[in-house]
Chain A
């Protein structure tokens, strides 16, 4: 065992990479839940995004097109959730599970011919001057563009929810859909937009795993990240910047346990691999005492009885 081999700068830099898929999926789900909808299909949308992005970027040679395809793929799958929960008024928990089960199968089917292929690389951007700063440079300013896109989405969601009319309406719909309906807001329409946004973000997160983090395609490669993202929204008490914090915390745990595995710590590999899931549970336990910040209409079906 040699803990000295773990380079702290690389560790923090790879922590940000590990956190990005989580962050993307969680910020999308945060918007969905703020609108009062509980979509448990994050894992399914992520894996479909992962394979759509992978396939398109391999076929076209452009990672950017891949990411766009991933967002579309995630959104299209979430459209099924829209049909079930907003039009067929089905139970949201069951519909979300259906989305995940279907997504896992569908992605495996689509991905058959892509196993073992290396996707085109996106390359890191080195921000001039800033990336040359010792320590902080490699940690903060030498990443792939999508990582920064993720942070930008968080900032945008935060600003939208806090300062704009759209954000206010979205929150109103999530807190009390009957009141929002009475005020003349289109509850269903707003929720549909939120769900599609959540699907697109989850798709991006999935593609980040298959195109940048790993990068290759294997069946079921999201391995529960979508579910951790759901937990992360609770952890963040539905606040955008806390999603960032939480994602980096979980990213840090993931990277640290991988590094410890590589360094050959005396703890068996399997127990280290369990740790992100166990820590997720612990965090949920600690934070579940306070439910006051959850949107009041979360998970309830809305049906205007004219």
Chain B
């Protein structure tokens, strides 16, 4: 018989090792999945993890890593703060959409004016849009004790409908020959979130993601508020005695994660995507949840996890076109990763022992 013995303190070594073990296990089981689908597993895994970095066309894919990774990291950093304190914002997808709509809306309001201040206004508007959307569950939780998980998730569907509405109406390109979708912000210079160094994939969103990582690291390790966040998550009773104000924490964590998700949406719509359209969002808000956990809710970990997840996105696309691997297979692959991570986390908190036979 095997028994679990709770460790007095989570194991440091295992907490670093579990993400790696989880990635390896996902590769093995993902390979099995690909084999069942009739693909060569070694080739498929190689295509996903090797091709984008060192393959023949790596010069094209490497910048994509930043483009795809930045929104994931930006959103996951915000989510991780809340997750640490037991505040579950799972509606980042909705906040991402609202950020994009607000950001693009602010930019398009100035069209076709040419001015330096338009882009900064869009950035603020984007963050505001996400913040506003996240404040709904935050306010309802603080004021009425409503479950933030359900409210933030419901708002994703509301945001998706709103996105459909504005891309067919309010923000529709008047010169778009009746097609849904806004003007392309890439061709509106003052609003375009262009690459800072041509061909590098580096745009303002990437910069923001790095800043968010640093900011979050400092906040968690050097600031009272960060301490309160960690305390609330790890010892809620102690936090209560220490005089942590739960309402303030909820408003801060949800608000910040919303603002960051909104920023991610705004940078995406003004840069890589360019257009507010019905199918603008591609699930970054949900994948970011995996990124946050895979990164152990730690800023540096999230940075690495975001890179890895971006890799699976790009590698997945390559595998799709080269090997005919279905798009959904990558989604399963990502889901699997979270599974294994949660399962192996057992080793961080518990010690596995063979039990001596006892008299019942």
* Cβ A90 vs Cβ B157 within 8 A: no
Q: Which residue of A lies closest to B333 (CB)?
A: A105
B21 smallest CB distance to A (angstroms): 13
A237→B126 CA distance, assembly (Å)? 38
Q: Does A288 contact B (CB under 8 A)?
A: yes
* A84-B342 contact, Cβ under 8 Å, with A101-B286, A227-B150, A281-B151: yes
A93 smallest CB distance to B (angstroms): 6
Q: Does B154 contact A (CB under 8 A)?
A: yes
Contact of A94 among B145, B150, B286, B342 (CB under 8 A): B342
A219→B326 CA distance, assembly (Å)? 13
For A84, the chain B residues whose CB sits under 8 A away are: 339, 342-343
For B162, the chain A residues whose CB sits under 8 A away are: 270, 274
B136 smallest CB distance to A (angstroms): 8
* A106-B332 contact, Cβ under 8 Å, with A88-B342, A93-B88: yes
For A97, the chain B residues whose CB sits under 8 A away are: 90, 289, 338
B282 smallest CB distance to A (angstroms): 13
* Cβ B331 vs Cβ A108 within 8 A: yes
Contact of B335 among A40, A93, A102 (CB under 8 A): A102
Q: Does B221 contact A (CB under 8 A)?
A: no
- Contact string, A75-110, partner B, CB cutoff 8 A, digits 1/0? 000001001100011110111011001111110110
Q: Which residue of B lies closest to A89 (CB)?
A: B346
* Cβ A303 vs Cβ B4 within 8 A: yes
* Cβ A271 vs Cβ B161 within 8 A: yes
Q: Which residue of A lies closest to B145 (CB)?
A: A288
Q: Does B53 contact A (CB under 8 A)?
A: no
* Cβ B149 vs Cβ A278 within 8 A: no
A230→B286 CA distance, assembly (Å)? 18
For A289, the chain B residues whose CB sits under 8 A away are: 144-145
* Cβ A101 vs Cβ B154 within 8 A: no
For B150, the chain A residues whose CB sits under 8 A away are: 227, 230-231, 234, 280-281, 284
In the complex, chain A residues 217-232 whose Cβ is within 8 Å of any chain B Cβ: 219, 223-224, 227-228, 230-231
Q: Does A291 contact B (CB under 8 A)?
A: yes
Interface of B is mostly: helix
For A98, the chain B residues whose CB sits under 8 A away are: 335, 338-339, 342
A277→B332 CA distance, assembly (Å)? 27
* Cβ B328 vs Cβ A105 within 8 A: yes
Contact of A90 among B136, B144, B345 (CB under 8 A): B345
- Contact string, B162-186, partner A, CB cutoff 8 A, digits 1/0? 1011001100000000000000000
Q: Does A117 contact B (CB under 8 A)?
A: no
- Contact string, B323-350, partner A, CB cutoff 8 A, digits 1/0? 0001111111111101100111110011
B180 smallest CB distance to A (angstroms): 12
Q: Does B113 contact A (CB under 8 A)?
A: no
In the complex, chain B residues 137-169 whose Cβ is within 8 Å of any chain A Cβ: 140, 144-147, 149-151, 153-158, 161-162, 164-165, 168-169
B65 smallest CB distance to A (angstroms): 22
A167→B106 CA distance, assembly (Å)? 57
User: Which of the listed residues A98, A103, A230, A231 has the most CB atoms from chain B within 10 Å of its own CB?
Assistant: A98
**How many pairs of A and B residues are in contact by the CB < 8 Å rule?**
137
* Cβ A90 vs Cβ B346 within 8 A: yes
For A94, the chain B residues whose CB sits under 8 A away are: 293, 338, 342
A288→B147 CA distance, assembly (Å)? 8
Q: Which residue of B lies closest to A284 (CB)?
A: B146
* Cβ A274 vs Cβ B332 within 8 A: no
A191→B204 CA distance, assembly (Å)? 49
Interface of A is mostly: helix
For the complex, count residues of A whose C-beta is within 8 A of B.
47
- Contact string, A97-136, partner B, CB cutoff 8 A, digits 1/0? 1100111111011001000000000000000000000000
* A109-B332 contact, Cβ under 8 Å, with A101-B289, A277-B154, A303-B6: yes
Q: Does A305 contact B (CB under 8 A)?
A: yes
A64 smallest CB distance to B (angstroms): 28
A134→B113 CA distance, assembly (Å)? 66
Q: Does B247 contact A (CB under 8 A)?
A: no
* A224-B154 contact, Cβ under 8 Å, with A93-B88, A268-B169, A303-B4: yes
Q: Does A306 contact B (CB under 8 A)?
A: yes
* Cβ B151 vs Cβ A105 within 8 A: no
For B207, the chain A residues whose CB sits under 8 A away are: none
B26 smallest CB distance to A (angstroms): 11
* Cβ B335 vs Cβ A90 within 8 A: no
For A273, the chain B residues whose CB sits under 8 A away are: 161
B254 smallest CB distance to A (angstroms): 15
Contact of B345 among A88, A109, A303 (CB under 8 A): A88
Q: What are 11 sample pairs from A and B whose C-beta atoms fall under 8 A apart? A: A83-B343, A84-B343, A88-B344, A97-B338, A102-B335, A104-B331, A274-B158, A277-B155, A278-B158, A284-B151, A291-B145
Task: Please list the residues of chain A having a beta carbon within 8 angstroms of any beta carbon in chain B.
Answer: 40, 80, 83-84, 88-91, 93-95, 97-98, 101-106, 108-109, 112, 219, 223-224, 227-228, 230-231, 234, 268, 270-271, 273-274, 277-278, 280-281, 284-285, 288-289, 291, 303, 305-306
Beyond A97-B338, A102-B335, A268-B165, 15 extra complex contacts between A and B, CB < 8 Å: A40-B149, A83-B343, A84-B342, A88-B342, A90-B342, A93-B88, A98-B335, A101-B338, A102-B336, A104-B331, A109-B37, A112-B326, A270-B162, A284-B146, A285-B146
Task: Please list the residues of chain B having a beta carbon within 8 angstroms of any beta carbon in chain A.
Answer: 3-6, 37, 88, 90, 136, 140, 144-147, 149-151, 153-158, 161-162, 164-165, 168-169, 286, 289-290, 293, 326-336, 338-339, 342-346, 349-350
Q: Which 10 residue pairs of A and B lie closest in terms of their CB atoms, listed nearest first? A: A105-B331, A102-B335, A108-B328, A270-B165, A109-B328, A105-B332, A90-B342, A98-B338, A88-B346, A288-B146
